[in-house]
Structure 1
Amino acid sequence: MAYRAPLTNHHADGSPCPAEHKHTSSCKPLHPDCPGRAYTQAICTCGGWEMKQSGKGYVNESRRRHLASHPKEPKVLRDLLRLDGS
């Protein structure tokens, strides 16, 4: 199984901060309706890992390390799954 851990950004009230809400490098919102990104979260589909921190880069690096810790599927199996639509 190919695991995923998508990054999601959130406002302080827990609501999602959509991709259209651009921010400066210091996380200040550029979108007029955005209260600001409070944290970034990643949850792995394996069910055994999640992270929620204010630093987007830190969450992304930890997410990559976690995903790399999962065993890789053989290429033949990946190709079969892709053909099957799974």
Structure 2
Amino acid sequence: MAIHRAPLTNHHADGSICPPEHKHTSSGRPLHPDCPGRNYSKAVCTCGAWQFKNSGKGYVNESRRRHLATHTEPGANGPAVLRNLLRFDLP
């Protein structure tokens, strides 16, 4: 199974990427003197079938996590895996 990623990027109003070293307040106002401010955040999944763009960074991050959770292999976690790993039929 391929491991998919959906990196979150912040963008200025002109569409240019706002670098990670440009820190912002929770409302998107810039704390860096050369930054015009975060206008929107965007996440694009490596599966090629999903992308999300919104002015709320937290909303984009939550949507990104929800989408990535859909890529988990069914049955790859939980009690079934433990049952397969732990053998109770040993003498």
Q: Verify: 1:9 aligned to 2:39, yes or no.
A: no
Q: Verify: 1:30 aligned to 2:31, yes or no.
A: yes
TM-score for the superposition, normalised by structure 1: 0.81
Q: Verify: 1:18 aligned to 2:19, yes or no.
A: yes
User: What is residue 62 of structure 2 aligned with on the other side?
Assistant: 61
Deviations 1:15-50 (CA, angstroms, capped at 9, x unpaired): 010011101122110101000000000000001000
Q: Which runs of 5+ in 1 are unaligned?
A: 75-86
Q: Which runs of 5+ in 2 are unaligned?
A: 77-91
**Higher gyration radius (CA):** 2
**Secondary structure in 1 matching 2:17:** coil
TM-score for the superposition, normalised by structure 2: 0.77
Q: How high is the sequence identity, in percent, across the aligned residues?
A: 73
Measure the CA separation in 2 of the matches of 1:47 and 1:26.
29
Where has structure 1 moved over 4 Å in runs of 4 or more?
none
Q: For 1:29-48, what aligned pairs fall within 5 Å after superposition?
A: 29-48=30-49
Report the structure, 1 or 2, having the larger helix content.
1
What is the aligned-residue RMSD (CA, Å)? 1.6
Of 65-74 and 44-53, the range deviating more from structure 2 = 65-74
Measure the CA separation in 1 of the matches of 2:9 and 2:73.
24
